[in-house]
Amino acid sequence: MEFDWAFAWSITPDLLRGLLVTVQVVVLGFVVAVVLGLLLAIAQRSAWAPIRAACAGYLSFFRSTPLMVQLYVLFFALPLAGLTLPPFATGVVGLGLYYAAYIAEAFRGAIEDIPPGQWEAALALDFDRATTWRRLILPQAFKPLLPVLGNYLIGMFKETPLLAVITIPELFQAAKQVAGMSYRYTEPYTLMALMFLAISVPTSLLFKYLEHRRHA
Amino acid sequence: MTRLNAFSLPAFVGSACLLASLFSTTASAGLLEKGRTGGLTAGIANEQPYAYIGTDGQVTGANVEILKAVLAPLGISKVETPITDFGSLVPGLAAKRFDLIGAGLFINPQRCKVIGYSNPVTRSGGAFIVKAGNPLNLHSLKDVAQNGKARLATQPGSNQVQEAKASGIDTAQVVLFDKDTEALAALEAGRVDVVYFPDAEIISLLKKASSPAVERALPFEQILDAQGKPTWNYHAYGLPKNDPAFIQAFNTELAKLRASGELLKILQKYGYTENELPAADITAEQRCAL
Amino acid sequence: MITDTTALFIARQLASGALVTLEITVMAEALVLVLAFTVALMRLSPWRLVRWVATLYVEVLRGISALVLLFYLFFILPLFDISLSPMATGVLGLGLTFSAYGSEIIRSALVNVHQGQRDAVRALDFGPVIALRRIILPQALPVMLPPLGNQLVELLKTTSLVSLITLTDLTFSGAQLITTLGHQTLIWCLVLVGYFLMAWPLTRLVRWYERRVTAWRTT
């Protein structure tokens, strides 16, 4: 199967436009996931059982069902209940809700790894709960979390092709469109795979570097 | 580090064998022969009224019935209809994932490069579904292009996408859905402003619309050709490019079906009229050469 | 609102879709285990070329997502005259992708077996195959099973991607039902419940095993 370089070059701008949308959705979705994940991790340690149960239910549900089906529900079923979000927002919310469940678990693990001595010291020094969290626990929890968060960021980036089913014009959708109109598949899909690699491999190397640097 | 290389080779060979066993060889027999012995597979996209799954779970539709009527005299009685999404029909046939395309497919020159076609079966224009009252006053593709902001919903890989582009509609205005029912749901939810599909499909879609808040945009101006006359799009069956004997036999039977009046009878069951029959002398070659 | 026959129709379609999902999961997991073990051992090989090839395999497959790989296999392979059924394509695509991650899990479990054990194996002059089979692997297995178990749950959920290469799994069956019948909310909810019922017991099993294995460790 010959690879038509001229054709590949001509479709690159369309694919790059899709890539830009991909990056935008991932960055915003990641922010949502981290914030929500942190809240969930804190709420899981709450003294009130109903809150703990609700968190456990959330985590259980979002981790046991596929992201694609969750996106379908958010996009097609929610409007019937009266809530219609634009596709981009739906994608950000969908990614955020799904990955928050995983990041919450990661936060929980990191927080539990903090020696109980820290908590006791905070108690002895009469810190209130907010200060304890803000100045003592969270800064210590973040350090070992970095590689894990990095993995989830890259994972989220690679899940973006799913957003095509809710009509977000990201990279995979762009490639499918080009292929659908021209009936040539090698060039768009190869370029798409290369663009994915071009982003995920350097990002993973970057995180590996950061991880080693902190240990130095 | 322990020396573990002795273990890798057998494992490697084992997995290679496993992979090899997943490969299947395809024999290249003419479709006439294949159909008579084992039956044929016709890819469909589950769209009304062409080829779809009815509420009883059986495959039905204008295209399916006509297909069976054409193939029966050739001695081919077994036709399976795997479902795929519309955008995968043409690449699927090109990749020999099924023997022919049983869904409604327009003839266009780009597709002709990749697959073959039977002679046209029906012709149709396009149609719009809009919100009741047609708030944006859209009566043609040109109107959508001029509006600049109106969002048009259609299917990836469809002729409609190319028509939209040719009419000057910006890519950002075109929203693609794998299924026509999803496009309708999007219109009802206010995510798009207009749904564009061939008229037969629009008529069937409207029957499924759950709210009276959508309607067909009338009057509708078809795409005009160079002389300013409205153009038609022609539906045909996608056939393998490299099997001229089959295409020939298929077209002969199709012509017979039409001459006997059976074709029109089947079509009328699904809401078509005589107006949708193409002129008798139009062939696939003509449409491909455009 | 929904007649009995319709409800039965829905149930039948979704059940057969769920069966296909399970089928793909089992076959893909078999492939994952075979490939992951092979690649993990290749990464620990004393030959640099072997190590290098394995590393390339892992990096490339982890860098592109499962969906990209599935589409590539589905649309591009036939152009090279390699014709795989959609089922084989799905199993292969998922198997390759998850084996890259799986090989990392297995490799790190093997490497993290206590150095003392590996020294003892050397000192007692065990051959490499026997060493692996009787000493290293039994100790590495409890460590690698929980993450592999979690990966199996991920694999189960990721099978929903094969609906995009026209395999009639649970997601695809749901989508087709909606096209025919409507009832969007109901059917998507049923699909979600279906996945939940398949994934959740597996997750609990993994958690239980994990707790049993680490019980001897003091927190």
Residue C197 reports pLDDT greater than 60: yes
Q: Give residue A186's pLDDT.
A: 83
Q: What is the mean pLDDT of residues B165-189?
A: 86
Amino acid letter, A207: F
Other CB atoms within a 10 A radius of the CB of residue C202 amount to 16
Q: Give residue C219's pLDDT.
A: 43
Q: Give residue A36's pLDDT.
A: 94
Q: What is the mean pLDDT of residues B149-175?
A: 88
Residue B23 reports pLDDT greater than 60: no
Q: Is C184 on the interface with B (CB under 8 A)?
A: yes
Residues C101, C151 contacting (CB under 8 angstroms): yes
* B12-41 burial: b if 16+ Cβ within 10 Å, else e: beebeeebeebeeeeeeeebbebbbeeebb
C107 is a domain residue: yes
C218 is a domain residue: no
Q: Give residue B159's pLDDT.
A: 87
Give the model confidence (pLDDT) of C126-159 as tens digits. Answer: 777 777 777 777 778 777 888 888 889 989 999 9
Handedness of CA A65, A71, A77, A83 (dihedral sign): positive
Residue B83: DSSP 8-state = B
Whether residue A144 is preceded by a cis peptide bond, meaning omega within 30 degrees of 0, is no
Give the model confidence (pLDDT) of A200-212 as tens digits. Answer: 888 888 887 877 7
Residue scoring higher pLDDT (B224 or C50):
C50
Q: Give residue B4's pLDDT.
A: 45
Number of folded domains in chain C? Answer: 1
Q: Give residue B25's pLDDT.
A: 39
Q: Give residue A42's pLDDT.
A: 86
Other CB atoms within a 10 A radius of the CB of residue C116 amount to 8
Residue position matching structure tokens 């573990």: B4
Q: Is C82 on the interface with B (CB under 8 A)?
A: yes
- Best C64, C94, C161 member to test A by mutation, with max A CBs in 10 Å, is C64
In sequence order, what are the residues at sequence separation of 6 or more whose Cβ sits closer than 8 angstroms to the Cβ of residue B184?
B129, B195, B205, B208, B209, B214
C91 is a domain residue: yes
Helix (H) or strand (E) holding B279: none
Cα B57–Cα B63–Cα B69 angle in degrees, nearest 5: 100
Distances (CA, A) of C204 to B6, B186, C24, C196, C209: 37, 38, 21, 12, 9
Q: Give residue C14's pLDDT.
A: 92
Residue position matching structure tokens 């799905």: C90
Residue scoring higher pLDDT (A30 or C180):
A30
Residue B56 reports pLDDT greater than 70: yes
Q: What is the mean pLDDT of residues C209-214?
A: 76
Helix (H, G, I), strand (E, B) or coil at B175: strand
Q: What is the mean pLDDT of residues B29-55?
A: 84
Give the model confidence (pLDDT) of B64-99 as tens digits. Answer: 999 999 998 888 888 888 888 888 888 888 878 888
Q: What is the mean pLDDT of residues A151-172?
A: 87
Mean pLDDT lowest among B32-36, B128-132, B135-139, C98-102:
B32-36
Residue B11 reports pLDDT greater than 80: no
Q: Which of A198, B271, A104, B272 is nearest to C59 (CA)?
A: A198
Q: Which of A77, A165, A192 has its CB closest to that of C184? A: A77
Q: What is the mean pLDDT of residues A9-22?
A: 91
A69·C188 Cβ contact <8 A: yes
Helix (H) or strand (E) holding B52: strand B52-53
Q: What is the mean pLDDT of residues B19-34?
A: 57
Q: What is the ipTM of this complex?
A: 0.78
Residues C92, C165 contacting (CB under 8 angstroms): no
Q: What is the CA radius of gyration of chain B?
A: 22
pTM of the model: 0.80
Percentage of chain B lying above the pLDDT 70 cut: 90
- For residue A31, what pLDDT band results from cuts at 50, 70 and 90? very high
- Best B152, B165, B176, B214 member to test A by mutation, with max A CBs in 10 Å, is B176
- For residue B238, what pLDDT band results from cuts at 50, 70 and 90? very high
What is the CATH classification number for the domain harbouring C79? Answer: 1.10.3720.10
β-pair type (B59-60, B52-53): antiparallel
β-pair type (B194-198, B152-154): parallel
Distance from CA of C36 to the nearest CA of A (A): 19
Other CB atoms within a 10 A radius of the CB of residue C89 amount to 27
Q: Give residue B2's pLDDT.
A: 44
Mean pLDDT lowest among A44-58, B20-34, B82-96:
B20-34
Does domain B31-122+236-274 match CATH 3.40.50.150? no
Q: What is the mean pLDDT of residues A151-156?
A: 87
Amino acid letter, A73: V
Q: What is the CA radius of gyration of chain A?
A: 21
A183·B113 Cβ contact <8 A: yes
Mean pLDDT of chain B: 82
Q: What is the mean pLDDT of residues C2-26?
A: 89
Q: Give residue B7's pLDDT.
A: 47
* CA contacts within 13 A on the Cβ side of B53: 22
- For residue A216, what pLDDT band results from cuts at 50, 70 and 90? very low
> CA-nearest residue of chain C to A194?
C64
| Domain chopping of chain B, boundaries | 31-122+236-274, 126-216
Q: Give residue C115's pLDDT.
A: 75
Residue C164: DSSP 8-state = G
Q: Which of B87, B94, B110 has its CB closest to that of A182? A: B110
Q: What is the mean pLDDT of residues A167-190?
A: 85
Q: Give residue C1's pLDDT.
A: 61
Residues A64, C200 contacting (CB under 8 angstroms): yes
Name chain B's partners: 3 or more CB pairs within 8 A.
A, C
Helix (H, G, I), strand (E, B) or coil at C14: helix
Residue scoring higher pLDDT (C26 or C216):
C26
B110·A185 Cβ contact <8 A: no
Q: Is B210 on the interface with C (CB under 8 A)?
A: yes
Q: Which of C65, C163, C196 has its CB closest to that of A159? A: C65
C123 is a domain residue: yes
Q: Give residue A214's pLDDT.
A: 61
Q: Give residue A107's pLDDT.
A: 86
Name chain A's partners: 3 or more CB pairs within 8 A.
B, C
Q: Give residue C159's pLDDT.
A: 92
Angstrom distance (rounded) from CA C4 to CA A23: 47
Q: Give residue B190's pLDDT.
A: 83
In sequence order, what are the residues at sequence separation of 6 or more whose Cβ sits closer than 8 angstroms to the Cβ of residue B111?
A183, B90, B105, B117, B238
Other CB atoms within a 10 A radius of the CB of residue C197 amount to 11
* Options 3.40.190.10, 3.30.1450.10, 1.10.3720.10, 3.10.20.30; CATH of B126-216: 3.40.190.10
Distance from CA of A1 to the nearest CA of C (A): 6
Residues of A with CB under 8 A from a CB of C: 1, 60-61, 63-70, 72-73, 76-77, 80-81, 158-162, 165, 172, 179, 185-186, 189-190, 192-193, 196-197, 200-201, 204
Q: Give residue C24's pLDDT.
A: 95
Give the model confidence (pLDDT) of C29-75 as tens digits. Answer: 999 999 999 999 898 888 899 999 999 998 889 888 888 899 888 88
Q: Is A215 exposed, middle or buried (0-12, 13-18, 19+ CB in 10 A)?
A: exposed
Q: Give residue B36's pLDDT.
A: 84
C71 is a domain residue: yes
Domain interval for residue C59? 4-213
- For residue B204, what pLDDT band results from cuts at 50, 70 and 90? confident
Residue B52 reports pLDDT greater than 80: yes
Give the model confidence (pLDDT) of A73-116 as tens digits. Answer: 888 888 877 788 888 999 999 999 999 999 998 888 888 778 88
CA dihedral A176, A180, A183, A185 (to 10 degrees): 10
C10 is a domain residue: yes
First-last CA distance in chain C: 55
- For residue B101, what pLDDT band results from cuts at 50, 70 and 90? very high
Residues of B in contact with A87 (CB under 8 A): 175, 191
Per-residue 3-state assignment (H helix, E strand, C coil) for chain A: CCCCHHHHHHHHHHHHHHHHHHHHHHHHHHHHHHHHHHHHHHHHCCCCHHHHHHHHHHHHHHHHCCHHHHHHHHHHHHHHHCCCCCHHHHHHHHHHHHHHHHHHHHHHHHHHCCCHHHHHHHHHCCCCHHHHHHHHHHHHHHHHHHHHHHHHHHHHHHHHHHHHHHCCCCHHHHHHHHHHHHCCCHHHHHHHHHHHHHHHHHHHHHHHHHHHHHHC
Q: Give residue B231's pLDDT.
A: 84
Q: What is the mean pLDDT of residues B177-187?
A: 86
B14·C79 Cβ contact <8 A: no
β-pair type (B214-216, B126-131): antiparallel
Residues A21, A170 contacting (CB under 8 angstroms): yes
Task: Copy the structure tokens of residue B63.
Answer: 């295209």
Residue scoring higher pLDDT (B232 or C36):
C36
Domain annotation for chain A: domains and CATH numbers: 20-168 (1.10.3720.10)
3-state helix, strand, coil in chain B (%, to 5): 40, 20, 40
